[in-house]
Structure 1
Amino acid sequence: MRLFGMPVEKGRWLLIPLGAIVLLCLGTVYSWSIFRKPLEKLLNINATESLLPFTVLLIMFAILMPITGFYINRFGSRTITAVGGVIMGLGYILSSLDGNLQLLTFTYGAIAGAGVGIVYGVPLAVIAKWFPDKKGIAVGLTVIGFGLSPLITAPLTKTLIDAYGVRQTFVILGITFTLIILAIATVLKTPPPDWKPANWNPNVAVSGSTALTNSETILQTPAFYGLWLCYTIGTFSGLAAIGISSPLAQEIIKLDATTAAGTVSLFAVFNALGRLFFGWFTDRFSPKLAAIVSFTLVLIASLMMLKAGQGTVATYLIAFALFYFSFGGWLAIAPTTTLILFSAADYAKNYGVVFTAYGAGALGGTLLAGRIRDIFGSYTVFFYPTTALAILGIVLAVFMLKRSFSSSTISQAN
C-alpha cells in the first residue's frame, strides 16, 4: 500500500501539513479583531455589536461540527471537505454586500460559520485514523494550522483592508480559501478499516475494556461532563481574548492599529505552540494535569491584565501570549482526551459531542466581553470573571477528571 507515491508509513505524514493548511484557512476567524474597528466605523456599531458576527460564527461552528461527524463515513471526507469549503467561501463573499449588521451576521456568522463547522472535524478525523500510534502529536500538529492562522491572515487582512477596504477583502479571502480547500479535499482520504501501522500492536484486550464506542455511552460518564465543563471554561477566556486583542491593545495599551494587528500575529504563534505542547503533554502525562497547567496560565494572565494600562506593553504581550497558548492547548487537550478515553473508530462522532463545549464557551465569553466594554467603558473588568473561572477550572480538573483520567488508564489506553 502506498500514499502519495511513498510507503504508507511515510506518506501519511504529508496529510498532516495538508490538513493544517485547511485548518489555517478556517482559522482566519481568529483574525476577526482586525475587522472590528473598520466595521464599527463603516456600520456605525458598538463593541458588543461588532463581536456578534464572530460569536454567531463560533456557535454555528460548534453546532455543525458534531453533526458533520455523523456523516463523514456516509459521504466521505473528500465530499464533506469540498462542500464545507464552498459554503465557507460563499459566506465570506456574501459578507461583502452593502448591508447592515444583521446581514453581516447572517452571511459571515451563519453561512461562513456553517462552512467552518462542516470542514473542521474532517482533517482531524482523517489524521486520527492514520495515526492511531501517535494520536497526541499528530492531532496537535494538525490543529496548529487553525491556531497559527492569524500569523498569516491577520497581517494579510490588515493589508487588504488598507488597500481595498473591508468589503473587497471579504471577496478576496472567500475566493482564495475556497480554491485552496477544494484542491486539498481531493487527497483527504481515510485508511482501509483494517489498516494499522507496521510493527504497531495495541493491547486489544485493554483497549476494549477502557474505550467507549458511541456518544450515548459518553453522555453517561462523569468523565464527559468533567471534560465538557473544563473545555467550556478554556474556550470562554480564550475566544474572548482572541476577539478583543486588537481593540484592547489600541484602547488600553494605546498601540496604533498596525502594531495591534502585528501583536495578533505574534499571539497566533503561541496559539499554535499551545496546541503542539498540550497535545504532547496530554498524551505523555494526563488530561487532568494538562487542564490544571492550562488554567494556571489563564489565572496568571488574568491577574496581569487587571493591572495593565497605557504603556504596559510587556504586560499585555505576556498576558495575551498566555491566553492564546492556553486556549490553543484546549484545541489539543480535548481531541486527544477524546481519543484516549473513547473509541478512535468513532472519533468524529465522539469529539463532535465534546466540541459543543466550544460553542458554549464562545457564546459566553465573546458576548460578555463586548457587554462589559459597553457598560464599563473598558475591557479591564472582563478579567475578573476570567480569574474566577480559571480557579473554578482548576477545581473541576482536580475533582471531576481525577477518577476517570488516572495515570494507569492513560498508560493502558496508549
Structure 2
Amino acid sequence: MNFDYSEKSITLQKKLKVFFDTHISPIEKEVEAFNHDPENAWKKWQGLEGLKEKAKKEGLWNLFLPKAYGELSGGLTNLEYAPLAEIMGRMTWSSEVFNCSPPDTGNMEVLAKYGTKAQKEKWLTPLMNGEIRSAFLMTEPDVASSDATNIETAIVADGDEYVITGRKWWSSGAMDPNCKIAIVMGKTDFDAPRHLQQSMILVPMNTPGLEVVRPLSVFGYNDSPEGHAEIVLNKVRVPKGNLLVSEGKGFEIAQGRLGPGRIHHCMRLIGMAQRSLEIMSRRVTERKPFGRNLDTYSSIRQDIAASACEIEQTRLLVLSAADKMDKVGNKEAKDIIAMIKIIAPNMALKVIDRAIQVLGGLGVSADTPLAHFYAGARILRLADGPDEVHMSQLGKSVIKKYS
C-alpha cells in the first residue's frame, strides 16, 4: 500500500488551502451567522455564487467524481480526492462552493452512471454546472428504513406515466431554494423477490402532488439553506422516461450510490476532527485556571495525544478504503467501507467532545464550530445506515470469511 498523494492531488490541496485562506476563512463567521439566523431560513448567502465562480476559474470544481466517469469528472481517484474532502470538511457549508456537497454528489454519480442521455442533459448538466441542487428521497417515517427493502412508497405504472404515493423524511437538500429535482426510491412490484421490488425515479420538485410538509432540525440546527424535509407524495405523476435504468433496479442503484457517499462523509469527518484538535490545542496554551496553563496538565496532554492518534488511525483507514475502491470497485470494498462508516463518526465525536470540554462554555456556543460539528458527526452514526447495521453486516462477512 502506498498512500503518498499524487502530484496532482498535492497541487490541488495547495490550491484549495490558498482558496480557503483567501476567500472562505475571512467570511466564515458572516456565513455562519447568516445561515443560523431564523429569518434567513432557506435563503442563500448572497456571496455564494461569486465564490462558486471563483472556484470554477481555479479548477476547484466537481473534484468528487472519480476519473472512471471520463470527461465529466475532475479526473481524480478516490485516494486523490480524500485529502481535498478533508479540507472541505473543516467548514460545514464549504463543500457547495466547489460543487462537492451531498446529496448532489451522490445524485450526480447516479445520473452519470445510470442516467439516459435525455436524463443527463436535463438534470446532470445543470447539476454539474452548479446551477441547481437536488434531493434524495429514500428514508420513510413509518418503517425501519435502515433496511431499504422496508420502504413502502408505491410507484405504479399507469399508461405512459408512473403514479407515486408515499411519505418521506430526512430528505436532505429538499429545502434549498435551488433544489429542482429529487431521486425517489419506491416499490414498483411489492410481490417480486425482496431486493427486486424497488425502483428509482426522477421527480421534479414542482410536480403536482409533491408537498414539502416541514423542515426537520438536527439537535436544533435547521441546516439552512439545504435542510432536511418531510415530504408527501400524493399521486404524483411523472413520465415513464423518468425511471432510472428499469423496474427492480432501485436497491442495486442505492447500494452503488451509498458507497461513495459514505466515504465522502468519513473524509469530511476527519476534517472536522482535525480542526477540533487544532482549536483545542490553541486554547490550552491561552487559559490559566488555578494559575497554570492548561497545556501543563497531564490529563490535557493525554486527551490531545489520544485525539491525534485516533485521527491519524482513521485517516489511514479511510485512505485504505479509498485505495481499495479505486483498485477493485465499491462492491468488493464493502467491508472496509463499513469499517470506516463505523469508526469515523465515533472518532470525530470523541475528539470534538474533548475539544468542547476544554473550551467549556465557549465550546457549546455558536462562537466556534464545535457544537455544530458535534451535531453533524452524531447524525452520521445514523445517516447512510446506522452503526448497528454496518456492524451486523461486517460481522457476518468476517464470520463467513473465517468459517
Give yes or no for TM over 0.5.
no
Q: Which has the higher helix share?
A: 1
TM-score (norm 1): 0.31
Relative contact order, higher structure (CA 8 A, sep 6+): 1
